[in-house]
Amino acid sequence: MAALTVTATATGSSSTLSKYLRKPLSVLPSQFTSISTSKSAFGLKTLSPITISSFKSLTPLKSSTSPSDPSRTTRGATSSAVQYPRTLKSRLQNGETLYGIFLLSFNPTLAEIAGLAGYDFVVVDMEHGHGGISDALPCLHALAATRTPAIIRLPETCATWAKKVLDLGPEGIMFPMIESPKAARKAVSYCRFPPGGVRGSAHTVVRASKYGIDEGYLSNYEDELLIMCQIESEEGVKKVNEIATVDGVDCIQMGPLDLSASMGYLWDPGNKKVKEMMRTAEKGVLESKAENGGAYLTGFALPFDGPSDLKTRGYHMVSGAVDVGLFRSAAVEDVKRFKMSLIEGSDDENDDSKDSDEKYWSE
């Protein structure tokens, strides 16, 4: 692009011009303000002044149709329509089996990679991960960029944590250690505004409602939010049928590690008795779903109970990995390969030396 040319009149000396060129153009004397804006100087057409009337007014995004509808769109200043992905709820209702990962690192880059890799959902784990609300938000931003649904697992089941998490706008929320229908009903109440629940309201300014831009938020949030209750103890298993049919509970998430610990098998989650207890819980959830339209069965894969095994037994959402675990395994294997290459290289050198000695003496 041609440089902006400032032409001095005959009355201006070069030394005077140099002095003023160190100042903004707005303070140049009139004799130095003949600015060339010709087409040859910029290679551009002269632009008309911008006025307020030049801008179209922006219409707030409206979720006037349910996001479970694949045709859900919104239109902005242009005529092109923006297609929204289906929600986790709608995909479960369509009979899909979803595959996800737990994020304990609270690393937005790993969250983004998980989304780009193709996981159907990512659980940001505030129960066992080190992060809090401020750490979770960048992860949700990264997942939103890849259009991957985020679920947040609470550190404990209480109204305060639920309120702060829901204001961030995840697509799902997971309540740990639910052991009774009463506890499940409380969990659901934490997710709903009065009179249906006890959730505190700041819907005009929080991320969940697109900071108040989504005018349809209050009409649709119950239909869009996936509520998950974890069964992680013997007591919970005993009441699993009742918990699974509580209104508003969408998923029963099995917790095999805590369940094994509650049974006295902390170091042996694959114990036969633990497996039998898991099968009892699974059967209860599946029966409640078939008979009363209850919750979907969801859970974690383990080394002795892989994702395909869970799918075969009727799980509709399977979490097959943890980000920290994946990195740990890759790092350990990487170091192991290098150490082994050093040993193998040393053996090769010894073999070469031995061959040389044998050749020398044989001659």
Strands 81-83 and 73-75: antiparallel
- Together in a domain, 127 and 33: no
Which has the minimum average pLDDT: 29-33, 90-94, 256-260, 277-281? 29-33
Q: What confidence tens digit (pLDDT) does each residue in 80-122 have?
A: 444 556 899 999 999 999 999 999 999 999 999 999 999 999 9
Percent of the chain predicted with pLDDT > 70: 72
CATH number for the domain spanning 280: value is 3.20.20.60
Domain count, the chain: 2
- 3-state helix/strand/coil string of the chain: CCCCCEECCCCCCHHHHHHHHCCCHHHCCHHHCEECCCHHHHCCCCCCCCCHHHCCCCCCCCCCCCCCCCCCEEECCCCCEEECCCCHHHHHHCCCCEEEEEECCCCHHHHHHHHHHCCCEEEEECCCCCCCHHHHHHHHHHHHHCCCCEEEECCCCCHHHHHHHHHHCCCEEEECCCCCHHHHHHHHHHCCCCCCCCCCCCCCCCHHHCCCCCCCHHHHHHHHCEEEEEECCHHHHHCHHHHHCCCCCCEEEECHHHHHHHCCCCCCCCCHHHHHHHHHHHHHHHHHHHHHCCCEEEEECECCECHHHHHHCCCCEEEEEEHHHHHHHHHHHHHHHHHHHHHHHHHHHHHHHHHHHHHHHHC
- Together in a domain, 140 and 279: yes
Q: What confidence tens digit (pLDDT) does each residue in 37-64 have?
A: 444 443 444 444 444 344 343 444 433 3
- Together in a domain, 24 and 94: no
- Together in a domain, 22 and 102: no
- Together in a domain, 166 and 262: yes
- Together in a domain, 110 and 29: no
Q: What confidence tens digit (pLDDT) does each residue in 117-169 have?
A: 999 999 999 999 999 999 999 999 999 999 999 999 999 999 999 999 999 99
Domain that holds residue 19: 6-43
Residues involved in catalysis: 128
- Together in a domain, 135 and 20: no
Helix axes 159-168, 133-145, angle to 10 degrees: 30
Does residue 359 sit within a domain?
no
Distance of CA 31 to the CA centre of its chain: 60
- Together in a domain, 228 and 129: yes
